[in-house]
Structure 1
């Protein structure tokens, strides 16, 4: 065989491997699909007013090269009426995910369980520096939690996605973007977590699923308060049937909506996320998305402000004046060649 023929054969064999060598991993949903009881039941009980736990973890997207400096924040309070901070209580932390088949205890110093909530009911957990690119689920459990006696879910769950540069992200607001109105979050809260009554926009589930199936990482950035994190996850997973992470809520009611969303998206961008498209319904959404660096042609606003924002800022308007179209026509536009694959690779 001539040398040039040998070179040709070698190129054919090795070119596909070099082509995909630098691909980012797709979200590893299977690795974080544990059988833990995550959500409380929906029936109201009088002791919910002072005892129901609102424990949550703020999801993070972290670059693999920055993992050693990354911190995960959790918040613990109780009572649907009072939201009293759970202060100076010890917490055990565990994680599972890509490359792990069982929960791993995370130690703070020599012993497991010596994370301690501060006067705001928060703990800050330094992420294990050994975490590699992939998806991870964290479980945080209060030790000797009296809420267990009331058959509540007393574990706080959150997610960390460790990425390399270039992971393609699609951002969604929730209220009046995926839901039919801003009132839906209050309906769920007043119904003590009954998410079945939260109405979605037409084809909202199909829109999120389209991006999931093409390998994009889904990020929800909502102005809901932190205590709505769990019912938001519950609605996304059980009622809309879509991934419920990465989810971020406001840490305080005083947080400026536009500023919080813009700052968070810029943080994810600094960590290597490529902000591809974003969906919202409000002016604060449009301004936050644009100022975070998302191109006008990839910012989509649905609802009453859509036309004005399209004229004012050049974003893409999705009209749904009678609340009967939702994303049906939009999906026809973006399916197929309108939305390229993210070209991520499946975890091994």
Structure 2
């Protein structure tokens, strides 16, 4: 997002009117298959087991849950032999009140196919007994940290974890992509890079129409996915917008990928946004050894971030951005860019 003096205030106000937990939206119609392309990654949209609410353990939790649910899961890239965490946050209402000391049921759709596996019942954290930081996510209360390496390790492929609050049946989802050796990743900003404007999300949250995508943007990302490249959507939006952001990407026809927001309730702007994205790409390299092959942005901060991450300038594309692009590529039409982004892959990963 473009920095501005009202931006933090706007997001603070929006946090009092936005609602999470909406049904999964229908995806845009699938485009015709491209000759020589990898099969599309699974949408992972099988309905999870029905939740049967059984009431909360604590009286306070009933009061907290009188607000609307703003639960969210944290997507993850992982390696087969590395750490594999499923991390989610459970909170309600305009103040993002944590749901502490309550049971959450967890389910896994391994490989995005077959039957859902029940992983067990887990208890949300509280401020008095925080969980150690994992995957760079500190425990601020109301979180579940599920270590999948303890007898549940995931193979190469895309997987979905579904959490349901035992007290009321509200839920959160996350996606994990376990990458094979040689995997390639493309990272893209969202606001202004894929959406029609930097602040389009503001109008939507105040009851306006959802933002449009730049013409051809979804097609360009599909060209990369068809080439076997994994998509990493990185936005400085606040954490509670992960669900609506994922829904927007799906509606607009963007290919499945890993989505990260900030972990705060107000998001990040300007230099703080660049710092956040730099940390994200640092974590990607630390976890997987991967430096993205492509980067897409629309702000000088994106140039700074992608340069610092070591992405080759020839793989960096900046939408309608002037100034010093550090060797990156200026473009003003994704429709013209998309054909050049497809490269028939030698092999396709699950």
Deviations 1:140-170 (A, max 9, x none): 111112xx5xxxxx21000011112321111
Rounded Cα–Cα distance in structure 2 between residues aligned with 1:159 and 1:329: 31
By how many angstroms is 1:286 displaced?
Answer: 1.6
The 3 A distance-change label for structure 1 pair 278 and 50 is farther
1:131 matched to 2:154: yes
The DSSP-based 3-state class of the residue aligned with 1:331 is helix
- Bigger Cα displacement from structure 2, 218-227 vs 182-191: 182-191
Rounded Cα–Cα distance in structure 2 between residues aligned with 1:27 and 1:246: 14
For structure 1, the 5+ residue unaligned runs are: 1-24, 39-48, 107-111, 149-153, 320-325
- Which of 237, 257, 262 does residue 245 from structure 1 map onto? 257
Deviations 1:28-74 (A, max 9, x none): 415x2313599xxxxxxxxxx962211111100011121xx332321
By how many angstroms is 1:308 displaced?
Answer: 0.3
Rounded Cα–Cα distance in structure 1 between residues aligned with 2:92 and 2:301: 31
- Which of 120, 126, 131 does residue 118 from structure 1 map onto? 126
1:276 matched to 2:283: no
The alignment's TM-score, normalised by the length of structure 1, stands at 0.73
Matches within 5 A, 1:6-85: 28-29=41-42, 32-36=44-48, 51-66=67-82, 69-79=83-93, 81-85=94-98
User: Is the 1:165–1:273 Cα contact (8 Å) retained in structure 2?
Assistant: no
The 3 A distance-change label for structure 1 pair 51 and 99 is closer
The corresponding residue for 1:316 is 329
Rounded Cα–Cα distance in structure 1 between residues aligned with 2:192 and 2:47: 31
User: Is the 1:279–1:300 Cα contact (8 Å) retained in structure 2?
Assistant: yes
By how many angstroms is 1:262 displaced?
Answer: 1.5
The 3 A distance-change label for structure 1 pair 143 and 99 is closer
- Which of 228, 237, 242 does residue 224 from structure 1 map onto? 237
Structure scoring higher RCO (CA < 8 A, sep ≥ 6) equals: 2
Rounded Cα–Cα distance in structure 1 between residues aligned with 2:255 and 2:98: 29
The structure in which a higher percent of residues are helix is 1
1:296 matched to 2:303: no
Rounded Cα–Cα distance in structure 2 between residues aligned with 1:90 and 1:159: 21
Q: How many residues align?
A: 281
The corresponding residue for 1:140 is 163
User: Is the 1:26–1:344 Cα contact (8 Å) retained in structure 2?
Assistant: no
Deviations 1:119-140 (A, max 9, x none): 4221211123531111110001
The corresponding residue for 1:86 is 99
The corresponding residue for 1:9 is none
The alignment's TM-score, normalised by the length of structure 2, stands at 0.73
- Which of 332, 335, 343 does residue 328 from structure 1 map onto? 335
- Which of 96, 101, 105 does residue 109 from structure 2 map onto? 96
Rounded Cα–Cα distance in structure 2 between residues aligned with 1:223 and 1:177: 12
The structure in which a higher percent of residues are strand is 1
For structure 2, the 5+ residue unaligned runs are: 1-37, 51-64, 128-140
- Of structures 1 and 2, the larger Rg is shown by 1
By how many angstroms is 1:266 displaced?
Answer: 2.2
- Which of 273, 279, 293 does residue 257 from structure 1 map onto? 273
- Which of 161, 183, 203 does residue 167 from structure 1 map onto? 183
User: Is the 1:168–1:342 Cα contact (8 Å) retained in structure 2?
Assistant: no
1:287 matched to 2:304: yes
